[in-house]
Chains A and B, each alone.
Chain A
Amino acid sequence: MSPQGDGAGSANAPKSMTIIVTKGSLDWAYPPFILGTTAAAMGVDVTMFFTFYGLPLLLKKLDLQVTPLGNPAMKMPMMGMHMVMPNIVGMIPGVDAVASKMMKNMIAKKGVASIEELREMAVDADVNMIACQMTMDLFEYKLEDMIGGIKLGGAATYMENALKSDINLYI
């Protein structure tokens, strides 16, 4: 009855979703991986297309960073309140590293999955992960630098998937 191989998925015909992943900072890496893994868990066929600054999210070794610079919405809980870092402070070398470390500590403390974990879950759930060939060439990445199980493709590969999908997101 279920179209999914394991039988624990959708009760109806399988739905599908594509996500264009264009950003690779620690904060922006979350929405595509959270939605991709959750959709896969709900029986959706998921395609993720990694392009431009999203492409390095497929590198074997991740060292994701977040910057408070130019981000007035980044209010970090500190000393019982929420603090915004002034841009002039955010410009000081080393501040990004400190902010990234703080966010990773919060992530671990609050039981939020790491991007590495979510990515592994996406691979386990057979999410179709496509690395943008043009970005690979542009930023000089090699396939052997990337995790296994990904495919290479371009805009036409993405479009073929997008045209038959129920949901297409650009993040």
Chain B
Amino acid sequence: MADQVLDAKGLNCPLPIIKTKKMLKDVPVGATLEVLATDPGSVADFAAFCRTTGNEMVEQSQDGAVYRFLIRRAA
């Protein structure tokens, strides 16, 4: 289970990423944030976001039209 959840469903680029970054600030280092999104572009964008910022993409899955990303906050 994720420590915190961000529902970014229905939001388009770049809102899911920006809201994620905002919420990650309040996630303790080492804890996880689960993001739910419906933007198909978020699959590539969240991977790029994690590679660039050093936060870890722990898990990624898709349930119908909803994409789920589990991100662990880096130091």
> Quick check: which of A3-11, A56-64, A81-89, A160-168 contacts chain B, the rest being far away?
A3-11
Residues of A that sit less than 8 Å from B by CB? 1-2, 6-12, 34, 37-38, 41-43, 110-113, 121, 124-125
Classify chain B's interface size.
Answer: 20 to 34
CA distance A38 to B46 in the complex (A): 11
B15 at the interface (CB under 8 A from A): yes
In the complex, besides A1-B75, A8-B74, 16 extra interface pairs with C-beta distance below 8 angstroms are: A7-B75, A8-B27, A8-B53, A8-B73, A10-B52, A10-B53, A11-B54, A12-B54, A34-B14, A38-B17, A41-B17, A41-B21, A41-B49, A42-B49, A111-B12, A124-B22
**Is B40 close to A, CB under 8 A?**
no
Whole-angstrom distance between the Cβ of B13 and the nearest chain A Cβ: 7
Bound CA span A135–B25, Å: 37
- A-side binding surface: helix, strand, loop or mixed? loop
Interface status of B18 (Cβ within 8 A of chain A): yes
Which residues, 1 to 52 on B, are CB-close (under 8 Å) to A? Answer: 10-15, 17-18, 20-22, 24-25, 27, 29, 39, 49, 52
CA distance A7 to B22 in the complex (A): 12
Complex partner residue of A37 from B12, B14, B29, B54, CB under 8 angstroms = B14
